[in-house]
Chain A
């Protein structure tokens, strides 16, 4: 047995794997366990990975077997690995692929069993009722082609994930090339594209500002087919379009926008989730878009926001390649599993800090500024109805002063002030004499203000949650968050992402969260910060009164 006495890993009986980052073998160990272990937390000293059935099955799908997994664990573990865990790994991995989805020459899509008992079990399950057709022989059952996605989902839930050998439709060919003039794919972007293409379909997780759009463009180029891109909103759609024009050989005539205002279907079509989920008289009126062309690739931007109807539509798209892009696979509704089974497993993931250390995203300094409420505010808070409390605490008047002082600390930088409550934001905009963008601002006005911000004409911008996602503001270096949607972890990550594009001069970005002490605001802040803390972003906590003494400066 080749147990290194002092390996970097500690394998726990509860299937967590601890990786000591400072260990000389840490990098090798990280690479070795990455295919099958899910990174759960990546703070400064010890990263925590978890062995999940899903992760192990993904590893099987990617061609790793149980022996390799066991060997890796034994090789890098500091202490002997619990025997039960090794047995469990082997047993879990052996469950994958007992059933296969294949193309039958005469019957079309069939579920083929390598293990008859498993097929019997699956057939008898109430969950598969209606998904499977006639039984051809002892080992094969016809699958309704439209139920391919749902069947895979159900089989995963039953613990017998099927190996999908049926492949993908090629889709309509449409050559797309990357125009790599003056730039090239970063190594991790290339790895992400390779990982995705090799796996067929799946999700790529990259921090905000790490160039997810480019990964999308590269995937399109690799596919060389017509592509349907689904994005969160119109502004984001325009940004995708601009980026594709800049990075690929696509011309304006080849890219269509399918949104509330325009309905163009072109070889590359960018549609918003909103337009797809619009219902008129109980029916989705724009569903035909999905069949409008023989799409070779379907791209989902920000999959962590994928609305439920899109899940259902995606179930019908299983024969097409699907790529999901996101910064955080944390869904506040806990439906990560559905993303995995319908779009595909996670194909690429890197700790934010690692990409930061490579210089591809700006280093960020996160500070939580704690504001002690004056007594009369505390009384008002104490006597408020519970549902009013967060609003009262988050929109505390004292925050205005703190924001002003923070803005004053960064006179040279482009500053974003982000908040949840409109009256608070209006007040702040007044205070700072800065333009305000909210949901009511027209798309045109938003574009104008964002452009002005990008060009440096406007240096301060107060924005509501409309700017949470997919707004590309490369020069923003300071973000001040005054309030948010309760304890949303992914919102926090997205907001930090607004300022993480690498700066021309390599400056550090600053992210401030202004929090009212001893209130639910503080509790929610702790919850919001959890994801970032697990990505290795440590928050410093500073009292509002001590702000002047805080050493943070460039």
Chain B
């Protein structure tokens, strides 16, 4: 009789190497002996890991092996053969068996056996089957594994028995035994009597494995576990390509806009390490998109290392030095960098805006939204699409079904699949639910190929804008770089897509004017990109905006001079006053870059009788008040009146006495009478622990008995004791009635009162 260890040993070096390759966790650290290897391979953790990657067919095969192994596990020939398994599963089990064997989950030649521990890992009812019938030595008992016998028995069964069996046949095999008398209960009783059910515990019944298999016609699964082959909805390839370009370029544009925005105005990092919800909304508003897309862009920028928490005080999210390098790349490479970052990140961006277990809102870039399985899941989802032939659109449900078949024990939630598809669509990895050419290259780990693929799809840029008299402009295609720059400075975008619609307004041309273009420059820049001439209203608008631009100007100066124009002639050009930074703004108005007082004194030294004026234009008095420092006024110290002090002390003493509990007063005066009163009045006694301690110390000294109210786990109890010793927060006392000694922690004493004399 062989064991699993012997089986492993028999694999030989080649076989063992294959096993270690298939289950890498067994090899690190290297096991010392084959026995150790066998022990490790059969631990729950290792088995779980191996099972996580198994598809539904292999799992069903493993369950079938467990289910079909006869009750006597030690029997060498107890296991099923591949043919048995094929019959039980309804499909050819050979490859699944080979896979299970390769992983060391099955073993045995001819008759297969499951690795030790697998039964426990797969749960108590493999394939939904109950325990085997206990082998009883009743030669005349009917063979319940024979379908005909079972059906024959059922012919005599009371009504309802068949329904009970039907409910349990396909598992779970456990049912609650009816407790109320009635037909159901009698049916169950009849079934139990005929061993078609067995008792589990007091209130449950189980269907024996043999009976279930007989009723299932020997099958372990109701439907053969065949791989789903989802049918993709074909999508027009041109639309996919166009969509992917549009989305990809849009994603790059949004990330660039985000970097520009945060470069100028980095948003603060919350204490949780995340971006605040309000900042996210502001960003979405600025990017003219939804908060979800804005969050994704922030996450992608973070994953690509383009923004980080600068860990300043206070911290903010700041673009990194990698931005320049990224921005210098051609647009398709920029996209590929973002796409790869997204594909490789373990951040679950779709969780932004949801709440965690404690109800706190998860922000974008929150350090806690990392999920180690996200990367694997993301690739798995995209791979399903990549494997679809012919390519087309799959719904999230279809993809989820495939993933659930491929690895039932580690399938992601439907929600995660949906979120991944939405993210991929936003980034142009998918378009119309179909994997795009660049997306496919990205998935196969070739970002440069992806970039080249994208560049191949980008339509020929259009270098022309159609300017119209209603102050709109339309680019009938993707604007060229040069055109996009001009429009960026002069117009606001109204609609973005295959074409571009922009609107011109006095505000929209201001950036161009701010950039130093004159009205004519702006017109020339637009005219260079348009067929024919710039419409007259637009020309007028631009020239008007240019005329008004900079009409009102602001600047900084420290002081000014004003006078009759004649009085200041020459002041600005006086070489002796050059260092004052005098500049004439208008006839009779000069500004200076020095404080007013210095200006006045310097002018006087040049013989100009200047005076200072205040903010209302009123001439200040000639005398400048001498400088003084304001200090806080010293507080007056009152000399105490002896009479008042005495009165005050008296009042304090009186208050003390009146608030003192009666009992301590009584104790203090060593009154022996009044014990009966103590018992009647619960309010007397000590309140605080300090008082209690004092009272107890007295009691020790006086050998008196006290009544202690002691807090305990079940409320407080009252004991009548004679304290012996008080020290270190404890009281040792003798219980007179029970003749026992006890130690009580002082903090447990709720109240202490004197009893009468001992």
Contacts and interface: CB of A to CB of B under 8 A. Distances in A.
A456 interface: no
Main secondary structure of the interface of B (DSSP, over half): mixed
A1 B239 CA distance: 10
Contacts of B497: 10-14, 16, 82
B37 interface: no
A241 B98 CA distance: 95
B242 A80 contact: yes
Interface in A512-554: 518, 530, 533-534, 538-541
B431 interface: yes
A82 B246 contact: yes
Nearest to A538: B469
Interface in B665-679: none
B468 A46 contact: yes
Interface stretch (B331-339, B533-541, B562-570): B533-541
A46 B474 contact: yes
A49 to B, nearest CB: 12
A48 B468 CA distance: 12
Contact of B537 (A10, A14, A538): A538
B498 A10 contact: yes
Contacts of A48: 472, 501
A3 interface: yes
B439 interface: no
Q: Which of B240, B467, B535 has the most CB of A within 10 A?
A: B535
Q: Which of B238, B472, B476 has the most CB of A within 10 A?
A: B476
Given A13-B246, A538-B537, A540-B537, A80 B470 contact: no
Q: Which of A13, A18, A45, A534 has the most CB of B within 10 A?
A: A45
B536 A541 contact: yes
Interface in B464-478: 466-472, 474, 476-477
Q: Which of B242, B431, B477, B498 has the most CB of A within 10 A?
A: B498
Given A79-B242, A82-B497, A83-B239, A533 B476 contact: no
A80 B238 contact: yes
B459 interface: yes
Contacts of A78: 476-477, 498
Interface in A1-31: 1, 3, 10-14, 16, 18, 20
Nearest to B431: A83
B501 A540 contact: no
B243 A43 contact: no
Interface string B169-201: 000000000000000000000000000000000
Contacts of A10: 476-477, 497-499
A540 B498 CA distance: 31
A16 B243 contact: no
A540 to B, nearest CB: 5
A13 B497 CA distance: 6
Contacts of A538: 469-470, 535-537
Contacts of B243: 80, 82-83
A44 interface: yes
Given A82-B239, A83-B432, A538-B535, A11 B468 contact: no
A12 B431 CA distance: 15
B499 A533 contact: no
Nearest to B466: A45
Given A10-B498, A12-B498, A14-B497, A44 B238 contact: no
B537 A539 contact: yes
Given A78-B476, A538-B535, A3 B238 contact: yes
Contacts of A460: none
A510 to B, nearest CB: 16
Contact of B469 (A79, A81, A518, A539): A539
A12 B476 contact: no
Interface string B423-453: 0000000011100000000000000000000
B496 A46 contact: no
Interface residues of A, number: 31
A541 B469 contact: no
B537 A16 contact: no
B501 A18 contact: yes
Interface residues of B, number: 34
Contacts of A247: none
B294 to A, nearest CB: 17
Contact of A518 (B236, B467, B536, B548): B548
A20 B476 CA distance: 8
A501 interface: no
Interface in B449-507: 459, 466-472, 474, 476-477, 495-499, 501
B693 to A, nearest CB: 69
A1 B236 CA distance: 7
Contacts of B476: 10, 18, 20, 46, 78
A45 B468 contact: yes
A112 interface: no
Contacts of A83: 235-236, 239-240, 243, 431-433
Contacts of A18: 474, 476, 499, 501
Interface in A66-96: 78-84
Given A82-B239, A83-B432, A540-B537, A16 B469 contact: no
A486 B501 CA distance: 28
A41 interface: yes
A10 B475 CA distance: 10
B241 interface: yes
Contacts of A20: 466, 476
Contacts of A1: 236, 238
A79 B459 CA distance: 9
A448 B463 CA distance: 59
Nearest to B531: A45
Interface string B564-603: 0000000000000000000000000000000000000000
A43 B468 CA distance: 6
A41 B470 contact: yes
B288 to A, nearest CB: 10
B470 A534 contact: yes
B239 A44 contact: no
A530 B474 contact: no
B496 A13 contact: yes
Contacts of B235: 83
Given A10-B497, A11-B498, A18-B501, A80 B239 contact: yes
Interface string B63-104: 000000000000000000000000000000000000000000
Contact of A16 (B246, B467, B501, B536): B501
Nearest to A22: B466
Interface string B234-255: 0110111111001000000000
A353 B498 CA distance: 27
Q: Which of A20, A41, A81 has the most CB of B within 10 A?
A: A81
B537 A541 contact: yes
A492 B604 CA distance: 65
Contacts of A530: 470
Contact of A45 (B242, B474, B499, B537): B474
A43 B467 CA distance: 10
A18 to B, nearest CB: 5
A80 B471 contact: no
B505 to A, nearest CB: 9
A1 B237 CA distance: 10
Q: Which of A1, A13, A44, A83 has the most CB of B within 10 A?
A: A83
A541 B471 CA distance: 13
Contacts of B236: 1, 80, 83
Interface of B: 235-236, 238-243, 246, 431-433, 459, 466-472, 474, 476-477, 495-499, 501, 535-537, 540, 548
14 contacts: A1-B238, A11-B497, A11-B498, A13-B246, A13-B496, A18-B499, A18-B501, A78-B476, A78-B498, A80-B238, A80-B241, A82-B239, A82-B242, A534-B470
Nearest 4 CB-CB pairs, A to B?
A12-B497, A538-B469, A83-B432, A533-B470
Given A82-B498, A530-B470, A540-B537, 4 more contacts: A41-B470, A80-B242, A82-B239, A533-B471
